[in-house]
Structure 1
């Protein structure tokens, strides 16, 4: 456990006011740069690249796009190329070379409506398997793309006939620990959480958290499934222990009332998968540590293995804004460095101290 003297602090290092609405921001791997994606007052898309220099964020490049940009990921690119995959308001998936970001290196009409969420896997020298991008949309579908193949998705998860179409708000890759296994988890506006097994092309597990699912993330993508954090509209998040799946009860979980309003994001610290940050609709950040139980599984009354949930401890929290903090991304290279954006049209670079002593 961390002692009071070693409690992490969340420090706002840089704050930059912008003249457009930012929806997503991502650190560019192996650099002191980050990219902001959003929507200009004219209704066009904005892509800006900033570099942190001498305690300031210097604008390096700005590009205007025809449609607002909603989300982005570097998860499917190599460290050499560092190509950014984005989803936009018109349902398009684009992949950009940020050195020459005027024309995409890959494009697909991914969905009939806005791409709400995107994630990537198989890139950045992490894990095994092919590079893939997953997109989730208001049209209710979740699709997986291989950037080496044009036009059509390699997997398409659609609502079953007869089911009402739900708005997919968030997607995440996980369980990618060899070159065959891989899962996609998706969260929907009605509280549905669905875990798809891409190897078997089947629905492996589903549950409902009774409130819209704003964000979900595996603690690591490149390992046998360990934990999944799911955040909701009502201020709660849920941590599911994915190591033991009971045939009836599914995965064990613990929930926490984290914020007074919507929990927009969850992001695990790359250097410690048991530490994660949640961002709130009231402009707050909460830093958490997951504590494992003494035993992660037990037998039920019929002798069937079932999981045992752990607990979560609040390490630190801070109010940064009066508006929702809608995106956050940890630096993959420098522990404790992160960037976040909020609806007050600001982007902030933060430093979280003393993470190395959180045990």
Structure 2
């Protein structure tokens, strides 16, 4: 347990009232800037870039686009520039050059889904030796698709409901397990509580057969490595770190549910060990973000306007053997560190700064942007 004097505090530093609804906020690595995307009242897309100063948030660029934006990621951005991938309410995946303030035409533009792109996550652009830059998208049409934006505007992998199956709205997606050029996994979460882990391990075959695959069977390498149902709609998914062998990941859900799965050991029948935390102040958990500088600390943001801080504690033994000699994982525990009420409306987006410990930006449905700081994290 953390004693009172060492307990972190969640403090609001700056806020800015807007006339637009923001759906995603993302820090631009290596800078004191972040990008916010959403919709104007006329349902067009809003892309804003803000610079952090001591006394205020200063807008350095603002662009209006025909389609409202639902989600965004910088995860597949190359190290030489800042390229933001956005998913729109009309189903488009687009990539924008933030060095130009997103002026001009997008660098990449594809009709990714039949309707809303609910979530997007990317990886590979900044690291060397960890696979190609790819973006995973999740749509209202129930599909999960993986895109290499250096190639033509067709997905390199697609995971879609089989003919005759009921279509479930896919709300969340995350890329991880990208610790070398061969391995990569995609997590997907659905409105009925399903979580599926798709294995993209066949990267070599996938790359060699891209053109033929697109022309024939887009499901040829759709391997479901693991699946479960957490009984409530899955609003957010995140690996604690995408660039290492799978360690753990979180699923944030309706009905106050936060799940953490230990992904180091997969049992052939029981899958991954996990734990469930029910937030004391019952509400939807919109997402959970692991602290970049300490992956065992995470912040959950909720429909009640709160941010709640937790620390994951590993068990004494992370794996044991069952009666048949098969290894199975052992879940740890979550320790509540702190919580703060930041808004009277749901906090729908949250992002930690990758450069400054404890600095975060979030948006809420009260049409405010907030920059805050969590203190004493270096003592955790």
TM-score bracket, shorter-length normalisation:
over 0.9
Matched, 1:357 2:379: yes
5+ residue gaps in structure 1?
none
2:179 is equivalent to residue 177 of structure 1: yes
Question: 2:25 corresponds to which residue?
Answer: 25
CA offset at residue 43 of structure 1?
1.0
* Offset of residue 3 of structure 1: 2.6
| Pairing 1:300–2:328 present | no
Q: Secondary structure at the match of 2:98?
A: coil
Instruction: Write the distance in 2 (CA, Å) between the matches of 1:117 and 1:143.
Output: 11
Alignment of 1:236 with 2:257, yes or no, is yes
Match of 2:218 in 1: none
Normalising by structure 1, what TM-score? 0.98
Deviations 1:75-101 (A, max 9, x none): 101122110000001110000001321
User: Residue 124 of structure 1: CA displacement?
Assistant: 2.6
Secondary structure, aligned partner of 1:99: helix
* Aligned residue number for residue 225 of structure 1: 246
Match of 1:216 in 2: 237
Distance 2:297 2:339 in 1: 13
2:345 is aligned to 323
Q: Which residue of 2 aligns with 1:253?
A: 274
Unaligned runs of 5+ in 2: 203-220
Matches of 1:125 and 1:350, distance apart in 2 = 28
Compared with structure 1, are the counterparts of its residues 194 and 51 closer, same or farther at alpha carbon in structure 2 (3 Å cutoff)?
Answer: same
2:251 and 2:259 in contact (8 A); partners too: yes
Change (3 A) 1:120 1:60: same
Contact residue 126 and residue 222 of structure 1 kept, 8 A: no
Within a 5 Å distance, the mapping from 1:52-91 to structure 2 comes to 52-91=52-91
Aligned to 1:288: 310
Q: Is the 8 A contact 1:108 1:150 kept in 2?
A: no
Match of 2:196 among 194, 197, 201: 194
Between 293-302 and 319-328, report the one with greater CA deviation: 293-302
Residue from 140, 146, 149 that aligns with 1:147: 149
The alpha-carbon deviation at position 127 of structure 1 amounts to 6.2
Q: State how far apart, in whole Å, the 2-side matches of 1:109 and 1:47 are.
A: 19
TM-score, scaled to structure 2: 0.93
1:282-335 CA-partner distances (Å, limit 9, x unpaired): 101000000000001111122221111100000100001110000000001111
Q: Is the 8 A contact 1:70 1:116 kept in 2?
A: yes
SS at match of 1:2: coil
Tell me which residue corresponds to 1:342.
Answer: 364
1:125 aligns with 2:127: yes
Task: Name the count of aligned residue pairs.
Answer: 358
**CA RMSD across the alignment:** 1.0
Aligned to 1:207: 228
Q: After TM superposition, give the deviation of residue 159 of structure 1 in Å.
A: 1.0
Q: Provide closer, same or farther for how the CA distance between residues 242 and 143 of structure 1 changes in structure 2, counting only shifts above 3 A.
A: same
Q: Which residue of 2 aligns with 1:11?
A: 11
For the residues of structure 1 that align with 2:176 and 2:157, how far apart are their CA atoms? 15
Checking the alignment, whether the CA contact within 8 Å between 2:82 and 2:99 is kept in structure 1 is no
Question: In structure 2, what is the Cα distance between the partners aligned to 1:142 and 1:152?
Answer: 13
- The answer to whether the 8 Å contact 1:13/1:55 transfers is no
Question: Larger deviation: 211-220 or 157-166?
Answer: 157-166
Q: Distance in 2 between matches of 1:292 and 1:76?
A: 30
Mapped partners of 1:337, 1:123: distance in 2: 23
* Cα distance in 2, alignment partners of residues 256 and 39 from structure 1: 33
Q: Among 306, 313, 329, which residue is 2:335 paired with?
A: 313
